[in-house]
Amino acid sequence: MRRHSLFWLTLPAASVVIGCGTPQDQAVHVPAALLGVWVNESAIMADRVFEITPEELFFQTAPDAYTLHAIEGLEVAECEGALDYDLEYRGLSGEAEFFRLTLSGGALRMRSRPEVRWMRNAAPERDWPWRRPGV
C-alpha cells in the first residue's frame, strides 16, 4: 500500500518537471536575398562554394567535401546602405559560431575576407557535385 501512495505523490511532480522543458525556439527566417549557392572569382578562394538554405549552411571544405550546419539564429543590421547579416550556427566543435556577411548590390562579402566578392551561382558546372547526375 505504501508504494502506491508514494507513486501518486511523485506522479504530479514528474509531470511538472517534464512540462518545464525549454520552449521551442522560433524558426529562423533567412531572407531570400541570402538563399542559394554562392561562388567567387578570387584566386585565393575560386575553388570554394557555400550555400545558404532556409535552414542550413553548407561550406565546401575540399573539392568533394563539405560541412553542413543548422542555422540557429540570425541578426540583421543596416550599415552605410548595405545589410550586415550574422548567421549563428553550431560549429564542428559544438560551440556557437557566426557566419558574418555583408550584402550590397547583389554581392556578398564575408566580413572576415572583405576582398572576396561572392555572387549567386549561375553556372551549373560550379554547383555542388551531388546535384550533377553522372558526376
**According to DSSP H, which parts of the chain are helical?**
2-19
DSSP classification of residue 58: E
pTM for the model stands at: 0.73
Domain map (residue ranges) of the chain: 30-126
Q: Name the class of domain 30-126.
A: mainly beta
Indicate the SS3 state at residue 4: helix
pLDDT one-digit tens code per residue, 42-87? 988 877 889 999 999 999 888 778 899 999 999 999 988 899 999 9
